[in-house]
């Protein structure tokens, strides 16, 4: 009885905080994501400590469910129609932003006197973004400019490039250290990406033709959520990227489901509620003790990642002959970084336990900064783009 009471009170309070965050966000320059994270910090262990464990312990499963919906919605942005308009920009900018960030962070850390192995790993981790935060800010902004669709398409590909870079980084550091492993880390990462793509296609193909038949032209909510969660469950069981699998499935359905008026309408009806819970619990789970230990290396990492995203996106924009707004603001919009980076840091620390403390300290502390401050810059970029 007591547990049910705590759970319901906490869940109701979180949803009301989400409503408050949305209200404040509409009246100030702060995006809802940042406010939700701050509210989460306030009620979590770093703040008042009033969030009961019965709900905070569910963060991992709620995060997975939310990111699956985010991946599905982002995949829908990769339709043939939108890609025909901006495929060149999407490919050039996404690759350049990922590679440019990795390179600049790597060089910056080397110049700061960091060991080459750690510099390589952190450089690769720096390429990752936060698709959930960027999607939420983009939808909240109400921006109608082509910049918004281009941003979401780039984010959909960004973490795939980041995973590939991370695979190369793990392989290079393994080679430098002369560590004998049963299988190549690069092959493991490629299997994770390739397996996710295949899984997304295998589920997406029949779903594109079978969904949207009960309610003509639109999939009902149980239909859409069923597909998303089955895809996620299989991906996690097969140990492939569930975020990428959901994106591929979304892209397949968006391109092949000709009888759908809008195949993602049902998911959007519930995704916002999950976003609120996800970001408040994410804020409650943040730990600030790592910030006190980060020192010079963390400052260099943050500054170089910001520089890398801005320069990388600008170089990609130049190569693809994108418009001036894209050249100036796309890198700024890509600054948020969250769970994918922490996941990479955990994988790297398991491969190289001697670097565990340094990797996790830098990545976790910088994630606090990029999760809270990054969305502010994403919103600024979208507002600038919307005025043109």
The CA–CA distances, whole Å, from 105 to 121, 212, 213, 223 equal: 10, 46, 50, 43
Q: Express each pLDDT in 5-31 by its tens digit.
A: 877 888 888 888 878 877 887 777 777
Q: Is residue 320 part of a domain?
A: yes
Radius of gyration of the chain (CA): 20
Stronger pLDDT, 322 or 378, i.e. the higher one: 378
pLDDT at 219: 57
Flag whether pLDDT at 54 surpasses 60.
yes
Q: Is residue 26 part of a domain?
A: no
Average pLDDT over residues 312-323: 85
DSSP state letters, 293-357 = HHHHHHHHHHHHHHHHHHHHHHHHHHHTT--HHHHHHHHHHT----HHHHHHHHHHHHH-GGGHH
Flag whether pLDDT at 387 surpasses 70.
no
C-alpha 383/C-alpha 360 separation (Å) is: 34
> Could you list the residue range(s) of the whole structural domain that residue 331 is in?
61-283+291-386
C-alpha 144/C-alpha 142 separation (Å) is: 6
Stronger pLDDT, 176 or 288, i.e. the higher one: 176
C-alpha 150/C-alpha 265 separation (Å) is: 20
Flag whether pLDDT at 267 surpasses 70.
no
Average pLDDT over residues 85-103: 83
pLDDT at 202: 92
Q: What percent of the chain has pLDDT over 90?
A: 4
Average pLDDT over residues 87-102: 85
Q: Is residue 39 part of a domain?
A: no
Region of poorest pLDDT, from 91-100, 235-244, 348-357 = 348-357
The separation between CA 239 and the C-alpha centre of its own chain, rounded to angstroms, equals 18
CB 159 within 8 A of CB 243: yes
Token pair in block for residue 231? 């895809």
Q: Is residue 56 part of a domain?
A: no
Flag whether pLDDT at 129 surpasses 60.
yes
Q: How many domains does the chain have?
A: 1
Region of poorest pLDDT, from 176-190, 246-260, 308-322, 368-382 = 176-190
pLDDT bin (cut points 50, 70, 90) of residue 103 is: very high
CB 128 within 8 A of CB 372: no
Q: Is residue 230 part of a domain?
A: yes
Maximum average pLDDT range among 144-158, 272-286, 322-336: 322-336
pLDDT at 186: 60
pLDDT bin (cut points 50, 70, 90) of residue 189 is: low
Average pLDDT over residues 184-189: 63
CB 308 within 8 A of CB 126: yes
Q: Is residue 43 part of a domain?
A: no
C-alpha 243/C-alpha 65 separation (Å) is: 10
- Indicate which CATH number applies to the domain containing 192: 1.20.1530.20
Q: Which regions of the chain does DSSP assign to beta strands (E)?
A: none
Burial of 7 (0-12, 13-18, 19+ CB in 10 A): middle
């Amino acid at each position: 009885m007591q547990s049910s009471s705590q759970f319901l009170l906490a869940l109701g309070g979180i949803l009301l905080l989400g409503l408050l965050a949305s209200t404040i966000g509409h009246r100030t320059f702060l995006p809802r994501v940042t406010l939700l994270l701050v509210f989460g910090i306030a009620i979590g262990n770093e703040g008042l400590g009033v969030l009961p464990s019965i709900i905070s312990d569910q963060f991992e499963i709620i995060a997975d469910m939310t990111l699956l919906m985010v991946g599905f919605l982002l995949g829908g942005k990769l339709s043939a129609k939108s890609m025909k308009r901006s495929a060149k920009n999407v490919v050039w900018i996404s690759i350049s932003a990922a590679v440019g960030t990795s390179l600049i962070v790597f060089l910056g850390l080397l110049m700061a006197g960091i060991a080459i192995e750690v510099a390589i790993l952190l450089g690769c981790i720096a390429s990752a973004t936060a698709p959930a935060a960027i999607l939420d800010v983009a939808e909240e902004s109400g921006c109608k400019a082509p910049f918004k669709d281009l941003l979401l398409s780039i984010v959909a590909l960004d973490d795939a490039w980041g995973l590939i870079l991370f695979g190369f980084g793990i392989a290079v550091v393994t080679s430098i250290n002369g560590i004998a492993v049963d299988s190549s880390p690069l092959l493991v990462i490629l299997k994770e990406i390739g397996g996710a793509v295949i899984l997304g296609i295998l589920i997406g193909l029949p779903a594109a033709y079978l969904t949207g038949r009960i309610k003509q032209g639109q999939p009902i909510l149980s239909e859409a959520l069923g597909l998303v969660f089955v895809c996620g469950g299989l991906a996690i069981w097969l140990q492939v990227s569930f975020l990428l699998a959901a994106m591929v499935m979304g892209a397949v359905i968006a391109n092949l489901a000709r009888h759908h008026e809008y195949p993602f309408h049902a998911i959007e009806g519930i995704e916002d509620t999950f976003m609120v819970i996800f970001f408040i619990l994410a804020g409650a789970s943040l730990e600030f003790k790592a910030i006190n230990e980060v020192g010079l290396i963390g400052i260099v990492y943050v500054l170089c990642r910001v520089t890398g995203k801005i320069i990388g996106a600008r170089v990609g924009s130049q190569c693809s002959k994108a418009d001036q707004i894209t050249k100036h603001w796309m890198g700024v919009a890509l600054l948020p970084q969250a769970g994918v980076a922490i996941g990479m840091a955990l994988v790297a620390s398991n491969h190289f336990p001697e670097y565990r403390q340094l990797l996790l300290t830098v990545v976790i502390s910088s994630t606090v900064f990029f999760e809270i401050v990054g969305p502010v810059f994403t919103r600024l970029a979208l507002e600038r783009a919307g005025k043109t």
